[in-house]
């Protein structure tokens, strides 16, 4: 009997303990912890995302390139909308038509009748002021503060890029993003998206049955503060970039300018350009469609990093350096200008290497390339040529051609340097030799280069054999420049071979008989090379590559002007103006400048060449 009595007390104790636990938990939930109360009060709370300010972008001298200004998203909670609301007046208030209203409201209802979604995005602050004061007439609609990207000058659109609302793939790839967020989709905005976007916060507000805000919930205890994006300091020179875009107005082409000692890109111009302010705010979608669909000039296409051209005569410099390294020529080697082999121009007949560069002698580089490709490595020319091409291509690739330079602007093309497999597929194995591919000798044939690669070649020449990978950011936030941009990239040509080529480049610009006399500057020694690039069914492209000054170079540059003819006529003077602007700060030869500014290769058929 005593044994059962003890069990009774044990069972009673267990019930008392369990009951005490439940009573304590109930007290904690109702009195101490507000979490469940908050959940129960969800219908009376509004969770407002606090979007961070996107990181500001500056040029190399801390001049502003991109900033933010206040904007608002008009949000809607469908269940709170008055079915009898005056939709006509509402549409007039925010500037849309009824069809668009019906479309967006239906979409919001499909999304959720109880959760808010964006009805109209990125309304500028000045427009929002007139909207917000009348919004009390339309229950269910309210504003959510955002920021709007702005650009103080209509320049560098291809460099800076733009942002757009995230899509399902963006959300799937990165759990940070939610519907309604924005993401960089091009340019620096894309490359440095993680650093620029910042970190969102949250504000919990109490609202009444009329959807009017009554204050912060729990005095802001559940709120979190947004963290703004990091400041980005770019390598661009804003003044030089603006000047380059001015010079390239009414022209198709590009300008790329690099600081040789660092690889920092000073200007990256693609023309036609576009105002980056067109791709922000309420008009973004409409403007984007116009730029993509209705503009045959394709201003969104970044010619500086995407366009692939034949290099033309500028490639003779690479042929010279490879041939010097391989020992198949010396600076004193002479070839007769035999125009029966390949066409040439100008009055010269038996040049050495510097003279051949100065006069851009095609037969000279025909013979040079022949010695490289058919170097006697095998008895048959059909076996010898593939061996020579492989050696030659290895050298060329070390100059950054035929590969995608790892610059920090996305989408760069890599150009093309043909290899043995390419020609075997085209002509058949053991069915081609130097005589089949000799056009490569003068930068024609199957070669393809990107303008930024050509500017990088100018930097290699300025540095006598090495380069830093061209890049656009000095630092972002507290993070220093990426290590890869601080490492020297050496070509396979020894530095001792560069001086004779550089002396020739000085003569191209400054000596009588040089092909780039329009690039001369009184106070600066410019070293450069012209190119006239063949263009099927159209006028040739005008090309020029240079660096300056000759001693301690500060700038390396490449200019492409499509359909403009001879390189010395247009690309060379444009490059010299950019060099003078960067080094001296102003332009002395106003007549040269005016000639370039007046030139139009887009809107008229005939222009002085």
Q: CB–CB of 101/139 below 8 Å? A: no
* Full set of structural domains in the chain with CATH: 45-234 (3.90.1310.10), 238-278+302-598 (3.40.710.10)
pLDDT (0 to 100) of residue 283: 78
SS3 assignment, position 146: strand
User: Cα–Cα distance between 515 and 265 in angstroms, integer?
Assistant: 27
Per-residue HEC secondary structure of 91-127 comes to: HHHHCCCHHHHHHHHHHHHHHCCCCCEEEEEEEEHHH
Question: Is the pLDDT at 225 greater than 90, yes or no?
Answer: no
pLDDT (0 to 100) of residue 7: 63
Q: Which residues contact 28 (CB under 8 A, 6 or more apart)?
A: none
pLDDT (0 to 100) of residue 10: 66
pLDDT band at 453 (very low <50, low <70, confident <90, very high): very high
Average pLDDT, the chain: 89
- Which of 12-16, 160-164, 365-369 is predicted least confidently? 12-16
The closest alpha carbon to 186, from 66, 68, 283, 297, belongs to 66
Q: What is the pLDDT of residues 335-366, one digit of tens each?
A: 999 999 999 988 888 999 999 999 999 999 99
pLDDT (0 to 100) of residue 292: 84
User: Cα–Cα distance between 276 and 287 in angstroms, integer?
Assistant: 10
- pLDDT, mean of residues 40-51: 68
Report the run of H or E that residue 351 belongs to, with start and end.
Answer: strand 350-351
Report the percentage of the chain scoring pLDDT > 90: 65
Q: CB–CB of 500/461 below 8 Å? A: no
pLDDT (0 to 100) of residue 36: 46
The closest alpha carbon to 601, from 308, 354, 251, belongs to 251
Phi, psi angles (nearest 5°) of residue 302: -90, 95
Task: Examine residue 549 and say whether the peptide bond preceding it is cis (omega within 30 degrees of 0).
Answer: yes
Q: What is the pLDDT of residues 378-437, one digit of tens each?
A: 999 999 999 999 999 999 999 999 999 999 988 899 999 999 999 999 999 999 999 999
Q: What's this model's pTM, rounded to 2 decimal places?
A: 0.86
Q: What is the pLDDT of residues 515-552, one digit of tens each?
A: 888 999 998 999 999 988 877 767 888 999 999 999 99
pLDDT band at 35 (very low <50, low <70, confident <90, very high): low
């Amino acid at each position: 009997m005593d044994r059962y009595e003890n069990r009774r007390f044990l069972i009673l104790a267990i019930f008392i303990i369990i009951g005490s636990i439940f009573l304590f938990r109930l007290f904690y939930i109702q009195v101490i912890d507000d979490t469940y109360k908050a959940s129960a009060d969800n219908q009376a709370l509004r969770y407002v995302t606090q979007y961070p300010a996107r990181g500001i972008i500056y040029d190399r001298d801390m001049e502003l390139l991109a900033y933010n200004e206040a904007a608002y998203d008009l949000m809607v909670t469908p269940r709170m909308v008055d079915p009898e609301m005056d939709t006509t007046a509402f549409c007039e208030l925010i500037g849309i038509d009824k069809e668009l209203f019906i479309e967006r409201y239906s979409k919001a209802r499909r999304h959720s009748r109880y959760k808010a979604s964006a009805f109209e995005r990125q309304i500028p602050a000045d427009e929002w002021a007139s909207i917000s004061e009348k919004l009390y007439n339309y229950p269910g609609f309210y504003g959510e503060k955002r920021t709007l990207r702005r650009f103080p000058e209509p320049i560098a659109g291809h460099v800076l890029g733009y942002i757009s609302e995230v899509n399902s793939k963006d959300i799937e790839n990165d759990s940070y993003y939610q519907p309604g967020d924005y993401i960089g989709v091009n340019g620096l905005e894309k490359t440095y998206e993680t650093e620029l976007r910042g970190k969102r916060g949250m504000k919990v507000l109490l609202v009444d049955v009329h959807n009017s805000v009554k204050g912060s919930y729990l005095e802001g205890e559940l709120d979190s503060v947004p963290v703004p994006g990091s400041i980005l300091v770019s390598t661009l020179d804003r003044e030089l970039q603006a000047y380059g875009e001015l010079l390239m107005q009414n022209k198709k082409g590009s300008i790329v300018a690099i600081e040789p000692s660092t690889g920092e890109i000073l200007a990256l111009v693609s023309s036609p350009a576009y105002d980056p302010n067109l791709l922000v705010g309420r008009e973004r979608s409409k403007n984007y469609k116009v730029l993509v669909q209705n503009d045959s000039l394709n201003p969104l296409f970044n010619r500086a990093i995407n366009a692939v051209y034949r290099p033309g005569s500028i490639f003779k410099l690479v042929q010279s350096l490879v041939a010097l390294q391989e020992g198949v020529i010396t600076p004193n080697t002479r070839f007769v200008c035999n125009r029966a082999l390949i066409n040439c121009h100008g009055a010269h007949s038996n040049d050495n290497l510097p003279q051949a560069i100065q006069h851009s002698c095609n037969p000279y580089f025909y013979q040079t390339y022949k010695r490289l490709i058919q170097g006697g490595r095998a008895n048959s020319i059909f076996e010898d040529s593939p061996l020579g091409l492989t050696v030659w291509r290895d050298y060329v690739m070390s100059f950054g051609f035929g590969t995608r330079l790892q610059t920090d602007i996305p989408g760069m093309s890599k150009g093309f340097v043909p290899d043995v497999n390419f020609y075997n597929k085209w002509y058949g194995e053991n069915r081609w030799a130097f005589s089949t591919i000799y056009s490569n000798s003068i930068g024609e044939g199957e070669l393809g280069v990107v303008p930024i690669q050509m500017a990088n070649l100018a930097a290699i020449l300025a540095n006598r054999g090495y380069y830093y990978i061209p890049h656009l950011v000095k630092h972002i936030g507290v993070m220093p420049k990426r290590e890869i941009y601080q490492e020297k990239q050496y070509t396979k040509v020894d530095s001792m071979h560069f001086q004779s080529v550089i002396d020739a480049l000085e003569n191209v610009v400054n000596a009588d008989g040089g092909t780039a006399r329009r690039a001369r500057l009184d106070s600066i020694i410019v070293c450069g090379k012209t190119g006239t690039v063949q263009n099927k069914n159209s006028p040739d492209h005008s090309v020029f590559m240079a660096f300056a000054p000759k001693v301690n170079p500060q700038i390396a540059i490449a200019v492409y002007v499509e359909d403009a003819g001879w390189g010395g006529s247009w690309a060379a003077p444009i490059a010299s103006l950019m060099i003078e602007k960067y080094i001296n700060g102003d332009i002395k030869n106003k007549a040269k400048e005016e000639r370039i500014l007046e030139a139009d290769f887009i809107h008229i058929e005939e222009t002085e060449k």
